[in-house]
Amino acid sequence: MKKDKVSIPVVRRLPRYYRYLSELMRNQILKTSSSELSTKMGLTASQIRQDFNCFGGFGQQGYGYNVELLHDEIGVILGLNDLKNIVIVGAGNLGSALAKHIDFGKRGFNLTGIFDVDPNIIGKKINGMEVKDFSLITECFRRNPPNVAVLTVPRSVAKQTAEQLIALGVKGFWNFSNAEITIPGIYFENVHLGDSLMTLSYRITNHKEDEII
């Protein structure tokens, strides 16, 4: 039975399952079980079964899971087969690195443009894609507007940039700007790299690994 409501912790675990299953596939492992997955992932087997039940369950009691089938079904749930148009706005250090480093096609997106406002950056090619003038974005996407934007602009201009993009039809942001923006009906996936680094600082400074894991 599929549940309509899926909690955010469950949703956040799905990419992890997907990643582990991809690894099993690379190692040519055909079958797995919730107890095997639980050892690898530091979750309880019952939690894993519960998670999978949110989406209708994928296995038979006592038989385990077919790795490739489970991998592909989770991919469908994550929407990875249904490519959504994405643009990168802000082609500075981080924006260009993401353009080169991230395999958008494998993560459910089709990179259709890279934009900046800096005349020194406009016209440059990143992975064969020319950086375009942000002021021309409406024109560029008259017919086929992006669903999502990577927001790699400075915090000070993040909100106004987001609003311009929303006016264009953008529904979601992969937000690296460190600005906390809340706009009803719009999805913000915020990445705070500094938070992760400060967590590491805490762990190294306090040496409490055994206690906090």
Residue 15 interacts with its own copies (CB under 8 A): yes or no: yes
Residues 44 and 52: beta-carbon distance below 8 Å? no
Residues 95 and 88: beta-carbon distance below 8 Å? yes
CA atoms of 29 and 9, how far apart (whole Å): 27
Q: Could you say which residues in the range 60-89 bind its own copies, by CB under 8 A?
A: 77-80, 82, 84
Residue 153 interacts with its own copies (CB under 8 A): yes or no: no
Query: What are phi and psi for residue 4, nearest 5 degrees?
Result: -80, -40
CA atoms of 140 and 95, how far apart (whole Å): 19
Contacting range for its own copies; rule: CB under 8 A; set: 31-39, 105-113, 128-136, 159-167 = 105-113
Residues 6+ apart with CB under 8 A from 135: 117
Contacting range for its own copies; rule: CB under 8 A; set: 44-52, 57-65, 128-136, 188-196 = 188-196
Interface contacts to its own copies, rule CB under 8 A? 4-8, 11-12, 14-16, 18-19, 23, 40, 77-80, 82, 84, 92-94, 96-98, 100-104, 106-109, 147-148, 171-172, 174, 178, 180, 185, 187, 189, 191-206, 208-209, 211-213
